Structure 1
Amino acid sequence: MSFEYTPPKYAQLIAELERRIDSGEYPAGSLLPSEHTLMAEFGMARPTVVKALGVLRDQGWIVTQQGKGRFVRGRPAIPKDQKARTGRELLDRTETQATSKLLAAGPVEAPNRIAAYLALEQKSTVVLRKILVERDGEPTEISGTWVPADVAEGTALAESADLRQGIRRYVESAAGVSLDHIIEHITARNPTLEERKLLGVKPSAALLTVYAVACDATGKPWVVVETVLPGDLHELEDAYPIR
């Protein structure tokens, strides 16, 4: 079974430029290499480089000055009163922090979407932890964590007891890696029969599903956290610089 995974080229460039900024190789206030320089160094087409630089600008890593170029701002500061990004919060949340009921914990066959996110072959075995989260006595979300079987083997991830640390800590310890970034995918759909029963929603209800794929610095995926949210009970909010 192969765990080889190649992230999109623009994502590779984003990760490398963030690393260089964090390490001080590109200090705050310095001029970022030009598009042509980055194209030559990384062997990427201009649209790929422009896309990566646009993401870094939107996230606050760099700033563009008309006629002068792009300058490094440094790692974006997150205001104290701003919530963590959805995927990060899910990775760090412990099962004891919320009123929850464990629905499943053990090996299953990975759905095609999960196998693709984890760069696994179809029908590969993964360990699934699924919980129903309640607030004020009402079900508000279903959260599922999908981890490759060889990573979860011998850990608390496959056990029926509540996890007292966030998923991130268990995965990093078991795999011997440091999770570096998250790629989120958000979809909207109608509920399955099981979800209708668990969440108490109608067949026509709109559900939001957030897939948070956590990767190491090379872009290799290690865990997927899937959260199913009734659309009428949740609002997803994000904040980022416009400069």
Structure 2
Amino acid sequence: MARAFKDSRSAHQKIAAKLRRQITRGDLPPGAQLPSTPVLMEQYGVAGTTVQKALQMLKEEQLLVGQPGKGVFVQGGTQQSISPEVYMPPAGAGQPYRWISEADKRSQRGSVTLLNVAVVTPPYEVRQALALDDDGQAVLREQILFLNDEPTELARSYYPLGLAEGTAMMERRKIKGGTPALLAEKGFPPRAFVDEVSSEIPTEDEVVALELPKDMPVMLTFRVVYSDDERPIEVSLLAKAAHKYRMRYRLNVS
């Protein structure tokens, strides 16, 4: 028998959660008009101020928009699926970074802003994945990935110092085709990757970079990329707004 448990969230948070799920899963499509405040008051058995608080939460998340004299409408849409495997093959000679070329296929505009390049002692789990000692160092490349000028992903990628030294990975500038293309040129093409995906409370830098509304979690991917002989060549921490995106994996079962 299930244990008794009560949702301790406020009434407006519960209402916002129900409406958010209807929006992100397509039951309330873009352009749909929400019922009036009196109707929502009756539906949920709450006061008008509670309904307004719930709607305001979703407006701050850019899922709803109010039109004076007309009502409240769905502005956001269903969550966009992102398939990690399409970004893994190195870009061809002279081709743009795959984030940009794949966005173009979806009639979106992809762009990247490079925030930082530094030699650092990585966090514990990154050191473990790269088989580094406690004081081992790696090259960190930190960037924000955009779709249609909206921040989509904060990517913090770490590379073994031995692979990065003497290459453009050490420089604070974008790399034509991205780091996968550069590593492939050096003889370390990506062969496999392992993702661990979790939902977490965002850090301050994630809130700022992704322009997150209050109390919105992030979807955090811990990714290890391997080359030949299972050699780890990249470890990334990838943070996305949890209410806008979902990960899509296709695995063949033999």
TM-score, shorter chain, exceeding 0.5? yes
Query: Partner residue of 2:139?
Result: 127
> For the structure 1 residues 95 and 155, does the alpha-carbon distance in structure 2 shift closer, same or farther, using more than 3 Å as the test?
farther
Query: 1:85 Cα shift?
Result: 4.8
Q: Report the number of matched residues.
A: 160
Contact 1:133 1:141 in 2 (8 A): yes
SS of equivalent to 2:117: strand
Distance (Å, rounded) in 2 between the aligned partners of 1:240 and 1:116 = 26
Contact 2:199 2:219 in 1 (8 A): yes
Matched, 1:138 2:136: no
Larger Rg: 2
Structure 1 residue 224 and structure 2 residue 235: aligned? Answer: yes
Aligned to 2:120: 108
The CA distance in 2 between the partners of 1:103 and 1:195, in whole Å, is 13
> Amino acid of the residue matched to residue 169 of structure 1?
A
> TM-score, normalization: structure 1?
0.58
For residues 27-176 of structure 1, what are the structure 2 equivalents within 5 Å? 85-86=83-84, 89=87, 92=90, 94=97, 97=100, 98-174=110-186, 176=187
Find the aligned partners of 1:109 and 1:173 in 2 and give their Cα distance.
26
**Offset, 1:198:** 1.2
Specify the alignment match of 1:47 in structure 2.
none
Q: Deviations over 1:196-241 (max 9, x none)?
A: 1111114522111122211133222111233211111101112234
Any gaps of 5 or more consecutive residues in structure 2?
Answer: 1-80, 92-96, 101-109
* Equivalent pair of 1:91/1:167 in contact (CA under 8 Å): no
Partner of residue 193 from structure 1, selected from 193, 196, 204:
204
Asked whether 1:206 is paired with 2:217, we answer yes
- 8 A contact 2:194–2:223 mirrored in 1: yes
Distance (whole Å) between structure 2 residues aligned to residue 163 and residue 116 of structure 1:
27
Task: Report the secondary structure of 1:104's partner residue.
Answer: strand
Contact kept? 1:214, 1:221, Cα under 8 Å: yes
**Secondary structure at 1:197's aligned position in 2?**
helix
The unaligned stretches of length 5 or more in structure 1 are 1-82
CA contact (8 A) 2:218 2:241 kept: yes
Distance 2:142 2:248 in 1: 24
Task: Give me the TM-score of the superposition, normalised by structure 2.
Answer: 0.56
Distance (Å, rounded) in 1 between the aligned partners of 2:146 and 2:124? 28
Q: Distance in 1 between matches of 2:188 and 2:146?
A: 32
3-state secondary structure, aligned to 1:195: helix
CA RMSD, aligned part only? 2.5
Structure 1: which 4+ aligned runs deviate by more than 6 Å?
A: none
Q: Deviations over 1:72-96 (max 9, x none)?
A: xxxxxxxxxxx99515515647288
| Percent of aligned positions that are identical | 19
Alignment pair present for 1:240 and 2:247: no
